[in-house]
Amino acid sequence: MKKISTLIFLIIATFTFVNAQTFVSTDPENKKVILEEFTGIHCGYCPDGHAIAQGIQNANPGEVFLINIHAGGYAVPSGNEPDYRTPWGAAIDGQAGVAGYPAGTVNRHDFGSWSMGGGTAMSRGRWSSASNVILAESSYLNVALEATIVTSTRQLVVEVEVYYTGDSPEPTNKLNLAILQNNVYGPQSGGGAGNNYKHMHMLRHLMTGQWGIELTQTSTGSFYSNTFAYELPLDYNGVDLVLDNLEIIAFVAETTQEIISGNSAGDITFVESNDYDAAITSVIAPQTYCFDELTPTVNLKNYGEINLTSLEFTYSINDDDEMTYSWTGNLAQLESEVIELPTMTYTPTDENLLHVQCDLPNGEQDELPQNDYFNGVGQGSQNYPQNINFGVKIDANPEDITWNVSNSVGDIIAEGGPYSNTGFQISPIDLSEVGCYELTLNDASGEGLSGGFYLITDEDNDIIWEGSDFTFQAKAELARGMIVDINTEIAAEDISIHPNPISATANIEFTLDNLSNVNISLFDILGKKVLDVFSGDINGGSHTIKLNSRDLIQGIYFVKLQIDNNTITKKVLVTK
């Protein structure tokens, strides 16, 4: 059996608890507003937008939460001006269809004629009315969160709970966790403060990545609890991150759009230091699974004031018997060590749940157990053809990028990097033998390609796998000529695009078994999205979606179809 899908496997330190709910409300509530405001330091009318948004929040305490996103041309700094932009802002700005600044989305909802450019973004005169509409609607879920910062080590620990008082129309939802900063003094056109303007609710980081992490239980009575740990840097883009001015917001969206509700952590609890605090900051494991053996690599860090000399690990995969490992060493406070845990055997399946936990630093009780856990899910590998291409798009620091593919006995059969140029690098690979292979991609800077991407194509350059986010290293196991026990879902051959090549318009045809959420986008050869074709829910049956290529230049493009959690990418050629 087979599954053709894009794997979203988050290799960051998220730690799941399975305790009963403790602080989220289980009573039905109305929606809360998440107002994302798109702004920039050179936007003269943006201070007026800030005032309008703040007024909406002041009129609805505890019900409206603001996220100010510096993006677009007005946010580009000049000379020695501070850079308030983030790696996340441009994509959110683009999805919203911002056509001018200031702009804002209210729960990323499409308010039709109120849109400023055909998307969810609206001019500032619409925000208040849109907020009132959302506040009057019932929510099928409640969100609550609490945050703690250990000041001596700049650890942020956020406990999030979500309770479903009704059924979601989507089989999965997306949880987003944002770090904001208030009282950031800097330049701003308009507002009359010059270089001493007080910026509020400024987005600094998304702890759950660009579009959040998946919630897979979305029916009435479902309860989700998760604890996230993150070491706060001293600054972002050279702008100081002041702990006392932070604000933590969580919200749940149905897909990457349509936010249902959210909440704030409120007052953050500050703790000065701990004597015993060992942490799993990351775990490197495959994004796709094929081999029947797994050797997890753990990044261990000592946040405690007392030197860490011993620690106990327990770990398991797919609920098999737990394995244990006793570590000894000597780590001073804030020192780290990469630990390779003993290999475990298992049977790879469609979904492979890896759980790793550490405990008993120096034989004592860990004083911050929230950062002692890692849970990650990796899908089984699809079956690859003999001849494939590995492609990597590098946006910065090409000299830091290396990769290799090894066979079942560990011999490297293909490798690349370090590179001297940025851009898209593609290399052919011959998987000559039946069996499992391992792809390893390294970024010495720890920036995970700095916004680039990596993928595997077949000989016709059709994309058959896309990698997910990472920092220093990413791994994926590849099956050749063998079957991994994977569920059958809609596959690439079930999608028809004709005519292809396309001179003006084409039909995208597919059949659904039942109601599904469908998103169709068009990307150019460099991976840049050039067209949103369709987004919405579609009933079961046969369907045709029209693709208009009249405004596109001639060349190769990729149509990406996301149907619920299944992603298929097909190549098309646009001619004139």
Residue 9 in domain: no
Tell me which of 327, 347, 380 is where a domain ends: 380
Note the pLDDT tens digit of each residue in 309-343. Answer: 999 999 999 878 899 999 999 999 999 999 999 99
In this predicted structure, the answer to whether residue 21 has a pLDDT above a threshold of 80 is no
Query: Are both 456 and 373 inside the same structural domain?
Result: no
Full residue range of the structural domain in which residue 454 is found: 383-480
Beta strands in 123-258 (DSSP E): 138-139, 141-150, 155-164, 173-181, 184-186, 197-199, 202-206, 213-215, 223-231, 235-236, 239-240, 246-253
Q: 10 Å Cβ neighbour count for 51? A: 11
How confident is the model at residue 114, as a pLDDT?
96
Average pLDDT of span 205-209: 92
Residue 123 in domain: yes
Query: Are both 365 and 436 inside the same structural domain?
Result: no
With contact defined as beta carbons under 8 Å apart, do 197 and 188 qualify?
A: yes
Residue 546 in domain: yes
Residue 5 in domain: no
Query: Are both 210 and 167 inside the same structural domain?
Result: yes
Q: What is the CATH number of the domain that holds 526?
A: 2.60.40.3080
In this predicted structure, the answer to whether residue 3 has a pLDDT above a threshold of 50 is no
Alpha-carbon distance 71 to 62, whole Å?
Answer: 26
Note the pLDDT tens digit of each residue in 533-558. Answer: 998 888 777 888 888 888 888 888 88
Three-class DSSP category at 494: helix
Residue 200 in domain: yes
Note the pLDDT tens digit of each residue in 247-256. Answer: 999 999 998 8
Q: What is the CATH number of the domain that holds 417?
A: 2.60.60
Structure tokens at 39: 């702004």
Query: Are both 458 and 568 inside the same structural domain?
Result: no
Note the pLDDT tens digit of each residue in 156-201. Answer: 999 999 999 999 999 999 999 999 999 999 999 999 999 999 999 9
Please tell me the number of Cα atoms within 13 Å of 8 on its side-chain side.
16
Q: How many independent structural domains does the chain possess?
A: 4
Residue 68 in domain: yes
Note the pLDDT tens digit of each residue in 140-152. Answer: 999 999 999 999 9
How confident is the model at residue 224, as a pLDDT?
92
Percentage, residues of the chain above pLDDT 70: 93
Average pLDDT of span 87-107: 94
Three-class DSSP category at 485: strand
Task: Find the angle CA(515)-CA(520)-CA(526) to the nearest 5 degrees.
Answer: 155
Residue 536 in domain: yes
How confident is the model at residue 85, as a pLDDT?
96
Task: Find the angle CA(338)-CA(175)-CA(231) to the nearest 5 degrees.
Answer: 35
Residue 485 in domain: no
CA dihedral 69, 75, 78, 82 (to 10 degrees): -10
Tell me which of 380, 397, 427 is where a domain ends: 380
Query: Are both 341 and 373 inside the same structural domain?
Result: yes
How confident is the model at residue 486, as a pLDDT?
43
pTM exceeding 0.85: no
How confident is the model at residue 484, as a pLDDT?
59
Alpha-carbon distance 93 to 40, whole Å?
Answer: 12
Averaged pLDDT of the chain: 89
Note the pLDDT tens digit of each residue in 468-522. Answer: 878 899 999 999 987 554 443 555 557 888 888 888 888 898 888 777 888 898 8
How confident is the model at residue 493, as a pLDDT?
57
Q: What is the CATH number of the domain that holds 102?
A: 2.60.40.10
Structure tokens at 439: 């792809």
Query: Are both 421 and 442 inside the same structural domain?
Result: yes
Please tell me the number of Cα atoms within 13 Å of 96 on its side-chain side.
31
Tell me which of 271, 306, 336 is where a domain ends: 271
**Block residue for tokens 């490297």:** 412
| pLDDT band at residue 530 using 50, 70 and 90 as cut-offs | confident
Of the listed ranges 88-97, 303-312, 320-329, 522-531, the one predicted with least confidence: 522-531
Among 285, 221, 214, residue whose Cα is nearest residue 252: 214
Query: Are both 265 and 294 inside the same structural domain?
Result: no
Q: How would you write 408-458 as a 3-class SS string?
A: CCCCEEEEECCCCCCEEEEEEEECCCCEEEEEEEEECCCCHHHHCEEEEEC
